[in-house]
Structure 1
């Protein structure tokens, strides 16, 4: 019923909107050749130079923007290797301003030949652009190899970092490509079709629609393709076979026809190439046994969209499709993608840990683990950007995911005083069967009033999660001190579901030519419920009985309201945003079984924010960002439920947890010298957290009862989340790149330091 209500909500919102003419379009072309120029920046500016909106040209060199409320404005076009062009528009009532011609940055001379270092790139405000030709790659390489050679780029644990910041989105010629899966684009776009690579801080959907830059950005890569591949059919097929029956086959096929683009991907292998990205293939849900979870609101269930690549050897079969197009005279943009993954993972892992006890004595923990898991996953992502009328526009995003997995885990673990003196041992076999479903929606609506800069917008987001996990545990436990051997046969059935929603209203009012005031109100509610039954087989019997110490029913509600005021100032050099919000959060948790227990908490906090962006020169940009935020404990962390699937490493939640409050400061400087092709990037960041959501570990010096019911053997560990004060961390990153002409190469030097 919840799913149906959400779908009806978005249908009704869309149905009540009226349609009309709202956009102005045009095309950017080379002044001499008249060829279109995809990927050019188009800025709409007031007569005083304030940026009203900005966009990219598409694969056909076309652009469109919402009609400004002022009568006179300038359209400014910039493109790497071309001079900047500005066109003034006065009292224009049409919808197409025609072609804007720009000239190459240089003079046409008599024919002659020169040899010089290719210009590496340039800085344009928040954007750093690099020429693909300045970096040499292997034949048949993909975009990931090209981008990996650029200054400040690092591939780490299935993610891409640019100048120390994680990339969250990839665009191709300014349009989304496979949703928010950067590694998909990196591994499936051939280098030979790439002209330029841009790294930029893309504003939030609400900031794009309203024109009010609130400082919320996503590190984004924009891949600009060459002119000759804007239309046509191209692709790549590769494969290999080797010893021990190892194999791999991959393929990609692209249909480009102006703004309409379709890409089909395929992959099969048994050599551990885990799909198009870590985001697509992870998801053997519950494989880690539900041990200490991280923070986060709402919940319950696993977030398979945020897990990392799995260790071990994975056999993978996968397919993906991406489609994008524009319609209704360019006023509407639609993108969609679908993935299917079928994988089998085998992992053998040996680990050893040493613990220093309060008595300064040492305790060892050794573990051998073997796991085999099979998983299948479907994911569908859709996005629609629509300029409904001159004053109204919407952005709608939706994601639907479903996954299932089956697993077998075998664990042999020991606690030891020293390598020759074991304390106890467990030998576990766990069979798991898991299913997970998620449905996300994000809807933003904006209305512009007649007065320039006066804007009203609303954003509605929702997320529905449901997960089911069944497991069967067989365990043999040995106590070497008493020579006692115990066995445990346990079946558990767990179901969790959650509904999270957020609604926000923002009103912006101009107070001068270069500044705006914003009032905002937000309300959100996270509703979660979990139900776990654990059945124990009785000694010398085939009957199972409910274990009330390990079973649990739990409901959690987290209501959050926030209101505040923000101020924005923009000119050609400075972009400044400050805000101050007041937040009231109410946490209400009910344990329904065993026994009823209610926990209520109210948190009140001031949430300040400040962002300063300064263009020191055309080549140098500085950004400083300070923000505060809160984080509530997850439903799993709040449950007093005990997880004893590893009897010598027991985990339980903590209903006494409170909200975490974090303050973070970030500073960045970047410079790209186009004449010398030298680049420099540096950032430092630090955070301080009050009531940090951490974990405590208790090591039993003797046999101990946990919560009066569950036995923890001598040397066993009991883990529980707690709040900690005084937590802080600091990070720094430095990168310097320069060309070396005598070997026709670029050298990038980088270093980083982290402190916790």
Structure 2
């Protein structure tokens, strides 16, 4: 009850009404093209010229500004390159000012181009905007090369971090580009089309529909293109062939005509480039810490990059447009990918046992995976009228694949004393279909801020697989050898829905309440049929211990009361949710058993944004959340695909309850181009779903039927407490005028407290991570471009069961990227990467140098046609090493990667701008 009282007090304190004032709204539009103008300034002035209030337009060219109390006032709208517009209003009846037209000022544009000093950018509330011309890159650079030069940006593999937060979306002129795939947009947009780069916190679809800020945001990059490039086409076509029969062919062409944008792309190669980009050839290398396990999850037009070496064939298309005078926005994409992956990996794992003892596990695996993926996504946003609006988002994904793998695993007391081992051969095939459909409707009442909306989300999954396992196992203590021949058929399906109704009510111009009710259910059926046979007997017989059939339901009800306050400098959102969830699981085979759980929780949330001045932004957030155990985690079904590492579920699992917080501070001085960012986050989990590991001291039967060899491990999920983590990132950037470059310093600190059970004894791994990064990005010009940076990380690892054991390790990654156009169309480029590892063990401690080099020529006068010779891994030292720390073991992993080869590549850059552009409304 104390927790309920505390949450209620927090909610009430944050839910008071601070003022009641009216807001004016409208749009700023270009006179000639009728395009909206994001980033235009709005000033509300008295008749005498005194500025009363000011604002700026968002990514859609819309603005909201406080309405003055005086009867007559002047609205002044300005935008760089346009004549300033002034309009006088008297006794205004409506708060909607409609579209305000700005005319281009050719004289002003000419003066800026000839004599004007390029401004670094501007700050507009949550949005930081940087002018592309203030950062010099090579002429053929992509958006990613431009963005990495900007303060507060950190790019690691396919992940982009801005001000300590991971970027989840990239927009072009405020509209989706390549769905929700940041890396794809960064790789395919050339700097030639970019005018500005904006970093912002984009609100959820529901918040943008209703106008009620629910505090949920996605860190977003909005790329504003140059007006003259919004009509035409651009892209790349490339082909290359190299030693060892390595090849690369593909391209991407983008057609822009106002709001209509069409992209077509294709890629085929055997050099490990798994996603579209001609210049991202460093994807051929495993660069250590960030590539060992794959870099990304699936997005609209990309696949998760697999470790090992992959042969890829893929095509994709992306389409966006506006209809009905700009009220309807449609976007969609289709993607097909065919990949063949080979993985060779070795790993060494140290299990942390009670009484200062250790057990080792070594594993070697050689896998081949073939997969095909079809993905279709669409989204329609339609403002049917001033009061009615909808968002509809259907998605379909189909996958099929085959897998074959060889695995050898060995448990040891020490390096020379084995306990048990296994050798497995596995072949499997799978087929999966996924269909999702989300629909949201909103109605605005006559009173501003009063809305009602409803959303329906549905999802259907079907997954079928067949797996065949042949395993030979040995116990070194008794010298017993046995074999296992097993076939597994799985059929899993699920249907889930979620229905939500939301009502918002203004309580003054700056305050708003929200009432919400949500109901959802996740129904699933799982059938697993496992059969075994003896070596000399060709007939399979069902194993009832490993076979199962389950029907599961997870019904959830949630009621919520929310409040927001939107002041000039202070914005608050708070809510109190009450959730009731019922889990109902029926085991139909072997033997009927019903499992029911009911979870009841208060879930508070609070977000606060404070802007004391234009250059400073502080944002603080707290949210609680729940996480129910998955169907797989609840099933007490044994998985013995690796007989030395058996796993099973736990029907007694409870729901996990988490507390998460963050704090972010930003200070930017655009006059001297100095910037400061700080991001702090952390979390505490109650009933943390951790792992219980049992390490057999002798041959043991699990459920009286499945043999666990001496030294083998049985793992199952359990609820534990005292699981928490904290992270902070601080970055500081400023120009180095003497060398025409920018310096960025990045300091990172992390701590995790992760509990686990080992042979029923509690072990907690404490992991303290210290990181320091430094990067210098050039701002010289198009002919010389370089980036140099280093990132050092030191991890201090301690386990409560073995506090004296030193598992500390140090890694450092240093990289130089250099491009030099040394004479006419001839150029040289290289990237050099050093990976230093200390403390991983004698076999893994090393300093690895990776070097690529290009020598090329661009044919004048357009220089669109390019020939280059590339050498990959010039020093022939490429490798991939990872260190993983969990609650029960510390593991070091090495993965084989692509080795040295040479390639000749021809690239044609398409740059055809200036076609008549359709209006963007």
Quickly name the TM-score band, shorter chain normalised: 0.7 to 0.9
CA gap of 1:93–1:618, structure 2 versus 1, over 3 A, is closer
Deviation at 1:641, TM superposition (A): 0.9
CA gap of 1:159–1:109, structure 2 versus 1, over 3 A, is closer
CA gap of 1:524–1:77, structure 2 versus 1, over 3 A, is farther
| 2:346 is equivalent to residue 350 of structure 1 | yes
Give CA-to-partner distance per residue, 1:10-40, whole Å, 9 cap, x none: xxxxxxxxxxxxxx9966338xxx6777651
Pick one of 38, 41, 53 that aligns with 1:40. 38
Give CA-to-partner distance per residue, 1:238-267, whole Å, 9 cap, x none: 232222122222311111111111111121
Question: Which residue number corresponds to residue 398 of structure 1?
Answer: 394
Question: Which residue number corresponds to residue 640 of structure 2?
Answer: 644
CA gap of 1:98–1:84, structure 2 versus 1, over 3 A, is closer
Instruction: Give the alignment of 1:312-711 within 5 angstroms.
Output: 312-711=308-707
Q: Distance in 1 between matches of 2:104 and 2:567?
A: 24
Check whether the contact 1:137–1:146 (CA below 8 A) recurs between aligned residues: yes
Give CA-to-partner distance per residue, 1:299-347, whole Å, 9 cap, x none: xxx9898984210011111111111111111111101111111111111
Question: Which residue number corresponds to residue 718 of structure 1?
Answer: 714
Give CA-to-partner distance per residue, 1:667-700, whole Å, 9 cap, x none: 1011221101111110111111100112221111
Deviation at 1:738, TM superposition (A): 1.0
Question: Which residue number corresponds to residue 185 of structure 1?
Answer: 185
Check whether the contact 2:653–2:718 (CA below 8 A) recurs between aligned residues: yes
Check whether the contact 2:42–2:78 (CA below 8 A) recurs between aligned residues: no
Check whether the contact 2:164–2:679 (CA below 8 A) recurs between aligned residues: yes
CA gap of 1:112–1:694, structure 2 versus 1, over 3 A, is closer
Check whether the contact 1:40–1:77 (CA below 8 A) recurs between aligned residues: no
Deviation at 1:606, TM superposition (A): 0.7
Q: Distance in 2 between matches of 1:371 and 1:662?
A: 37
| 2:737 is equivalent to residue 741 of structure 1 | yes
Q: Could you say what secondary structure the match of 1:56 adopts?
A: coil
Check whether the contact 2:37–2:57 (CA below 8 A) recurs between aligned residues: no
Question: Which residue number corresponds to residue 99 of structure 1?
Answer: 101
Check whether the contact 2:298–2:304 (CA below 8 A) recurs between aligned residues: no
Q: Distance in 2 between matches of 1:503 and 1:244?
A: 56
Q: Distance in 2 between matches of 1:87 and 1:474?
A: 81
CA gap of 1:303–1:178, structure 2 versus 1, over 3 A, is closer
Instruction: Give the alignment of 1:260-271 within 5 angstroms.
Output: 260-271=260-271
| 2:22 is equivalent to residue 28 of structure 1 | no
Question: Which residue number corresponds to residue 127 of structure 1?
Answer: 127
CA gap of 1:375–1:64, structure 2 versus 1, over 3 A, is farther
Question: Which residue number corresponds to residue 199 of structure 2?
Answer: 199
Deviation at 1:568, TM superposition (A): 0.9
Deviation at 1:92, TM superposition (A): 7.1
Deviation at 1:723, TM superposition (A): 1.0
Question: Which residue number corresponds to residue 172 of structure 1?
Answer: 172
Q: Distance in 1 between matches of 2:28 and 2:113?
A: 30
Q: Could you say what secondary structure the match of 2:629 adopts?
A: coil
Q: Could you say what secondary structure the match of 1:184 adopts?
A: helix
Deviation at 1:166, TM superposition (A): 1.6
Check whether the contact 1:43–1:55 (CA below 8 A) recurs between aligned residues: no
Deviation at 1:442, TM superposition (A): 1.5
Give CA-to-partner distance per residue, 1:248-301, whole Å, 9 cap, x none: 223111111111111111212111111149xxxxxxxxxxxxxxxxxxxxxxxx
**After the TM superposition, which of the residue ranges 80-89 and 740-749 deviates more from structure 2?**
80-89
Give CA-to-partner distance per residue, 1:132-164, whole Å, 9 cap, x none: 223233342212222222222223353322222
Deviation at 1:165, TM superposition (A): 1.4
**After the TM superposition, which of the residue ranges 639-648 and 179-188 deviates more from structure 2?**
179-188
CA gap of 1:332–1:693, structure 2 versus 1, over 3 A, is same
Deviation at 1:122, TM superposition (A): 2.6
Question: Which residue number corresponds to residue 159 of structure 1?
Answer: 159
Check whether the contact 1:468–1:494 (CA below 8 A) recurs between aligned residues: yes
**After the TM superposition, which of the residue ranges 586-595 and 236-245 deviates more from structure 2?**
236-245
Q: Distance in 1 between matches of 2:747 and 2:448?
A: 46
Check whether the contact 1:72–1:91 (CA below 8 A) recurs between aligned residues: no
Q: Distance in 1 between matches of 2:604 and 2:106?
A: 45
Q: Could you say what secondary structure the match of 2:140 adopts?
A: coil
Give CA-to-partner distance per residue, 1:519-570, whole Å, 9 cap, x none: 1111111111111101101352110000011111112111111112111111
Q: Distance in 2 between matches of 1:49 and 1:455?
A: 30
Check whether the contact 1:649–1:716 (CA below 8 A) recurs between aligned residues: yes
CA gap of 1:492–1:573, structure 2 versus 1, over 3 A, is same
Check whether the contact 1:123–1:129 (CA below 8 A) recurs between aligned residues: yes
Deviation at 1:362, TM superposition (A): 1.7
Give CA-to-partner distance per residue, 1:23-81, whole Å, 9 cap, x none: x9966338xxx677765147999999999997535xxxx8799xx9xx99998867578
Q: Distance in 1 between matches of 2:712 and 2:386?
A: 67
Question: Which residue number corresponds to residue 248 of structure 2?
Answer: 248
Check whether the contact 1:157–1:308 (CA below 8 A) recurs between aligned residues: no
**After the TM superposition, which of the residue ranges 248-257 and 529-538 deviates more from structure 2?**
248-257
Pick one of 729, 732, 749 that aligns with 2:728. 732
Q: Could you say what secondary structure the match of 2:186 adopts?
A: helix
CA gap of 1:395–1:42, structure 2 versus 1, over 3 A, is farther
CA gap of 1:662–1:51, structure 2 versus 1, over 3 A, is farther
Give CA-to-partner distance per residue, 1:160-206, whole Å, 9 cap, x none: 22222121111111111121111111111112211111111101111
CA gap of 1:64–1:611, structure 2 versus 1, over 3 A, is closer
Give CA-to-partner distance per residue, 1:593-647, whole Å, 9 cap, x none: 1111111111111111111111121111110111111110111111111100100
**After the TM superposition, which of the residue ranges 47-56 and 599-608 deviates more from structure 2?**
47-56
Q: Distance in 1 between matches of 2:54 and 2:501?
A: 23
Q: Distance in 1 between matches of 2:212 and 2:75?
A: 19
Q: Distance in 1 between matches of 2:112 and 2:690?
A: 70
CA gap of 1:469–1:265, structure 2 versus 1, over 3 A, is same
Question: Which residue number corresponds to residue 21 of structure 1?
Answer: none
Q: Could you say what secondary structure the match of 1:643 adopts?
A: coil
Q: Distance in 2 between matches of 1:354 and 1:79?
A: 62
Q: Could you say what secondary structure the match of 1:274 adopts?
A: coil
**After the TM superposition, which of the residue ranges 669-678 and 120-129 deviates more from structure 2?**
120-129
CA gap of 1:25–1:672, structure 2 versus 1, over 3 A, is closer
Check whether the contact 2:421–2:473 (CA below 8 A) recurs between aligned residues: yes
CA gap of 1:669–1:478, structure 2 versus 1, over 3 A, is same
Aligned residues: 696
Q: Could you say what secondary structure the match of 2:192 adopts?
A: helix
Q: Distance in 1 between matches of 2:632 and 2:298?
A: 13
